[in-house]
Chains A and B, each alone.
Chain A
C-alpha cells in the first residue's frame, strides 16, 4: 500500500516467495488434474483414477514421466531458442502471480507479513507487460521448431493474443477508474470498502473474462492448438519436459487469470467470517470451475469469427464501457 512503512525484512520476502511459488505450482499441477476430472465427469466418464486414491497422484506421475522422457530436439530446430522458449513462457506465467494479493496484512511477532508477494504501484500494467512477454515464448518456440505446423500455430497464437490483449487492457480501464489506482492491493481494498466491481462493472467483467479466456488460449478460443487442423500448433515439435513447461505456463496463466478476475471484480480476499486466503481460494476455485465448464460446453470458433469478434465486438464494447464509467465516476 502507499508508503505505509511495513516492518518486513528481506528474509520474510524470501521465505514467503518460496512458499507462494511452491503452493502456486502445486495449485497449477492440480488444476490439470481437476480439469481432467471435471471434463471426464461432464462427458460421463471417470477421468484419471489410477495413480493414487481418486487419481490424486496423477500430477506427480505426469511430472516423473516428463522428466524421464528424452530431451529431444528435431534436426531443423534452432537449438538454443528451442530450449529457452519454454523457459520464457513458464517464467513470465509464474512471475505474474507474484502481483496478485491473496490476504490482508498480518502482524506476527512484531513483523508485518503481507498477504501478497509484491505490491507495486503499477501492478496492473506490469501484469499485462509480463503477459505480453509471455507471448514471446510461444512465438520463438514455434518458429525455432522449424516445422510448418508450428509456424502456422505460432502466427495464429500471435495474432489472437495480440488482438485480445487490447480488449483485455481496455476492459480493465473501468476498474482502474473506479479504484483510482493501478495497484492490485488498492483495487482489492477499495472493493472491500465499497462494493465488488463485478456489479457496477458488469459489462467490463464480461469483456474481461471473454478476452481473458481467449488470451490464455482456452476453448472455445483454443485456435492456436486446434488439433483437428494444426496437430498441436506451436507445441507440435515439443516433447518431454519442455512440452511440460509450455503446459505449465498455460495452466499457470489460467490460474493467474482466475486470481486476477477475483482481485479485479470479486473483492480479492474479502469476505465475512473465514480468513482472507480461504475466501480467495474459494473464489478462485469458482472462476476456475467456470473456465473448465466453458471448455466442456462450447465448440471451437472458426478463425475469422475469432478475429472479427475480438476487434468488432469486444473492442467497441470495452471502449464504450470505459467512456461511460469515466463520466459516471466524475458525475456521481
Chain B
C-alpha cells in the first residue's frame, strides 16, 4: 500500500469501531427499551411551557445566522490556507513571512469591514 495511505489504515479501523459502538447502543435501546401500554396524543407533542398548540409551522431562520455562517466560511478557509505556509516557514524564510503577513492582512481587512458595518452586533 502507499505509505501515506498506510497511516490512515488504523484510523479507518478505529472509525469503524467508533461507528459500531454508538450504533449498537441505539440498536440495543430499541431491543431493551420498555414500551408503555397507553399512548396518548399529548406525549408526542413537542415540549412547550403552557398550552401545547401542536407542532410548529415550518419556520424561517433569521438572516443573522446566515451572515455568521458566511463570515465563518471566509475566515476558516483562509486559516486552512495558512496551515501549509506555517509548516514550511522555517525552510523558506522571510519571503514566507511576508506571504504570511499578507494573507493575515487579507483576513484582517474583511474583519475590520464587517466590524464597521456592524455585522458583529
Please list the residues of chain A having a beta carbon within 8 angstroms of any beta carbon in chain B.
3, 10, 13-14, 16-18, 20-21, 25, 66-72, 74-76, 83, 86-87, 90-91, 94-95, 98-99, 117-121, 124-125, 145-151, 155, 158-159, 162-163, 165-166, 169-170, 173, 176-177, 180-182, 231, 236-237, 240-242, 244-245, 248, 304, 307-308, 311-312, 315-316, 319, 322-323, 326-327, 329-330
Q: Which 9 pairs, one residue from A and one from B, show the smallest C-beta to C-beta distance? A: A241-B29, A147-B46, A76-B55, A118-B11, A75-B44, A94-B18, A90-B22, A162-B72, A13-B10
Q: Distance in Å from the Cβ of A91 to the closest Cβ of chain B?
A: 5
Known: A17-B13, A68-B33, A98-B15. A330 touches B69 (CB 8 A): no
Contact status B11-A117, CB under 8 Å: yes
Inter-chain contact total with CB atoms closer than 8 Å: 213
Contact status B104-A322, CB under 8 Å: yes
Tell me the interface secondary structure of chain A in the complex. helix
Known: A147-B56, A182-B83, A329-B89. A67 touches B34 (CB 8 A): no
Out of A72, A98, A155, A244, name the residue touching B25 (CB < 8 Å).
A244
9 of the cross-chain contacts (CB-CB < 8 Å) are: A20-B14, A159-B68, A169-B79, A236-B46, A245-B25, A319-B104, A323-B101, A326-B86, A330-B90
Contact status A121-B11, CB under 8 Å: no
Out of B56, B61, B83, B111, name the residue touching A124 (CB < 8 Å).
B83
Contact status B18-A95, CB under 8 Å: yes
Q: Which residues of B contact A311 (CB under 8 A)?
A: 71, 111, 115, 120
Contact status A120-B46, CB under 8 Å: no
Q: Distance in Å from the Cβ of A150 to the closest Cβ of chain B?
A: 8
Q: Which residues of B contact A326 (CB under 8 A)?
A: 86, 89, 96-97, 100-101
Please list the residues of chain B having a beta carbon within 8 angstroms of any beta carbon in chain A.
3-4, 7-11, 13-15, 17-19, 21-23, 25-26, 28-30, 32-36, 43-49, 55-56, 59, 61-62, 64-65, 68-69, 71-72, 75-76, 79-80, 82-83, 86-91, 93-94, 96-97, 100-101, 104, 107-108, 111, 115, 120-121
Contact status B111-A148, CB under 8 Å: no
Contact status A319-B107, CB under 8 Å: yes
